């Protein structure tokens, strides 16, 4: 399933912050975690994660440090800051509101549209 670009962009901040709230991580591992969590439904273009991480770093939501990995390569690790946690809480509130609204409307729609095929339901949030 291809997810709309705007939706990917909007959700990237809470997803990355939430993954970093679990534990400190680096680019590749963050993408792996996104795949795992979405069951492969969210496919980000790998490179695009890095500008997002750098923006969060500039805003002070995450901190970065270089660590030498066991392979001998330098690797950039990111850690969420207290500002980042506050931002995550705020994003969470907003997404919950969006989620609740959509759930409400899906439920209201379902009796009238008896057989929603998953494939035909998918474009709905994109059109919204």
Q: Which of 1, 7, 41, 50 binds another protein (CB under 8 A)?
A: 50
Residue 23 or 46 having the CB closest to another protein: 46
For the bound state, the minimum distance from the C-beta of residue 84 to another protein, rounded and expressed in Å, comes to: 11
Q: Can residue 91 be called a binding residue for another protein (CB under 8 A)?
A: no
Which residues within the stretch 97-116 sit at the binding site for another protein (CB under 8 A)?
Answer: none
Distances (CA, A) of 71 to 29, 66, 67, 77, 80: 15, 14, 11, 15, 25
Listed residue (50, 65, 40) closest to 12, CA to CA: 50
Q: Which of 24, 55, 79, 106 binds another protein (CB under 8 A)?
A: 55
The residue to which tokens 């850690």 are assigned: 79
């Amino acid at each position: 399933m291809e997810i709309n670009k705007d939706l990917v962009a909007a959700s990237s901040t809470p997803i990355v912050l939430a993954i970093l709230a679990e534990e400190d991580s680096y680019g590749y591992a963050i993408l792996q975690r996104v795949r795992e969590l979405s069951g492969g439904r969210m496919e980000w273009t790998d490179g695009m994660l890095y500008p997002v991480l750098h923006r969060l770093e500039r805003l002070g939501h995450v901190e970065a440090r270089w660590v030498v990995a066991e392979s001998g390569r330098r690797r950039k690790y990111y850690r969420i800051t207290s500002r980042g946690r506050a931002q995550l809480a705020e994003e969470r509130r907003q997404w919950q509101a969006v989620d609740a609204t959509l759930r409400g409307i899906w439920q209201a729609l379902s009796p009238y549209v008896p057989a929603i095929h998953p494939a035909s339901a998918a474009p709905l949030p994109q059109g919204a």
